[in-house]
Amino acid sequence: MKFETYTEQVLQYHEELCKIVAMSVVPPEIHKINNQVEQLNALLKWFKNDFFTWTNRPNCLRCGTNNNLQELGHVHPNNEDREYGASRVEGYKCLDCRIITRFPRYNSAVKLFETRTGRCGEWANAFTALCVAMGYAARLVLDWTDHVWTEVYIEEWQRWVHCDSCEPLFDKPLTYEKGWGKQLTYIVAFSNQEIVDVTRRYVIDPFMNKMRRNNVNEKWLADLVKQRREMLWDMQGPEMAAILRDRYFREEKELFGDKDEVADEDYLPRQSGSLEWRSGRGEMGKGVMDSTAGSATIKTREDVDRVMKDMHREAARAKQEEAKRAEVARPQLPERPEAELYAEA
Ligand SMILES: [Zn+2]
């Protein structure tokens, strides 16, 4: 279950060791910046340009290139892999050297500060850990169409801000749909203090998004997220819980309010990863979109009609039930004899 995995994953950012290692890798000039917005932008730039690297396929341990690798799929994780949270290990055979190079997908932020490489999962994990270590309220954000990034709370702006360390992007939440051409479905933010469905921050058209969200019952999902969020709030103690609750209600208002119009030109196609890899994923924006983009099942007009029909049916049933409930709730007044009514007139 994804929820449990990610709720657990974000807990490591609050461990002492993780914080100490994180603080030690950040350059002193970034530590010195006082303004949160400026500091985060500097952190993103440094992270992308000087700290982390992207790995589509690892380099062969012997010849040091990845030109002639054969993908072996997942290979068995060893004890060290498991110790650093790599339950998935990719194997590659160099056809020149005939040796196998392993690429463990580490989840441990401490380990990632050492290896400093990976794909968006590793990037987002390490970057979120850095933000937490530097004292920010930060969340790991999971996009069900296969991407991960960070959200950071900016005190001055009193709101959560989108940060994608791979690109890097700061406060450009519509990039995935407008720039990459994704069709987003579910996006959930995780921290040690809460779980929030933040999809609305990232979609152009909430109605079309709703159409695509047909994996699970909406009410069931909303209840589940709410229940877990409140449980995490309660674990923070009454004082902190009150702050979190207040912050959440402001966020909810923002998510469900109207959005400011932003010009399409402001959004770029995906920058991270090789061109071949990005095109294969259909994340190069308009013109390069293919049917493999996302896991959305709504692509054609017929799909929309089908879902619309379901929605109307559901709405009609809800209305009927509502009416039935109102019927029961209405107090039944005893009928008064006609004579009495006339007497009053
Ligand atoms: Zn080789």
Number of domains in the chain: 1
Q: How far is the CA of 65 from the centre of ligand 1 (A)?
A: 6
- Tell me if 337 is assigned to some domain: yes
- Tell me if 320 is assigned to some domain: yes
Mean pLDDT of 42-54: 98
Q: Is 274 exposed, middle or buried (0-12, 13-18, 19+ CB in 10 A)?
A: exposed
Q: What's the confidence (pLDDT) of residue 336?
A: 46
pLDDT digits (tens, 9 = 90+) for 177-204: 999 999 999 999 999 999 999 999 999 9
Q: Give me 31's structure tokens.
A: 């530590």
- Tell me if 266 is assigned to some domain: no
Q: How far is the CA of 98 from the centre of ligand 1 (A)?
A: 7
| Position with higher pLDDT, 295 vs 242 | 242
- Does the annotation count 120 as an active-site position? yes
- Tell me if 47 is assigned to some domain: no
Q: How far is the CA of 222 from the centre of ligand 1 (A)?
A: 50
Residue with tokens 């009927």: 320
- Tell me if 104 is assigned to some domain: no
Q: Give me 6's structure tokens.
A: 């990610």
- Tell me if 20 is assigned to some domain: no
Mean pLDDT of 145-170: 96
Q: How far is the CA of 124 from the centre of ligand 1 (A)?
A: 29
Q: Give me 88's structure tokens.
A: 């998935």
Q: What's the confidence (pLDDT) of residue 263?
A: 66
pLDDT at 326 exceeding the cut of 80: no
- In the structure, what pLDDT confidence band is assigned to residue 277 with cuts at 50, 70 and 90? confident
Q: What's the confidence (pLDDT) of residue 343?
A: 44
pLDDT at 303 exceeding the cut of 80: no
pLDDT at 295 exceeding the cut of 80: no
* Residues whose CB falls within 8 Å of the CB of residue 247, separated by 6 or more in sequence, listed in order: 153
Q: What's the confidence (pLDDT) of residue 14?
A: 97
Measured distance CA(200)–CA(320) in Å, rounded: 29
Is 120 in contact with 149 (CB distance < 8 Å)?
yes
Q: What's the confidence (pLDDT) of residue 195?
A: 97
pLDDT digits (tens, 9 = 90+) for 66-99: 999 999 999 999 999 999 999 999 999 999 999 9
Q: What's the confidence (pLDDT) of residue 288?
A: 42
- Tell me if 291 is assigned to some domain: no
**Structural domain of 305:** 301-344
- Does the annotation count 147 as an active-site position? yes
Question: Which one from 147, 162, 163, 197 is the annotated catalytic residue?
Answer: 147
- Does the annotation count 164 as an active-site position? yes
Question: Which one from 18, 60, 94, 120 is the annotated catalytic residue?
Answer: 120
Is 207 in contact with 24 (CB distance < 8 Å)?
no
pLDDT digits (tens, 9 = 90+) for 197-230: 999 999 999 999 999 998 899 999 999 999 999 9
Q: What's the confidence (pLDDT) of residue 147?
A: 96
pLDDT digits (tens, 9 = 90+) for 104-130: 999 999 999 999 999 999 999 999 999
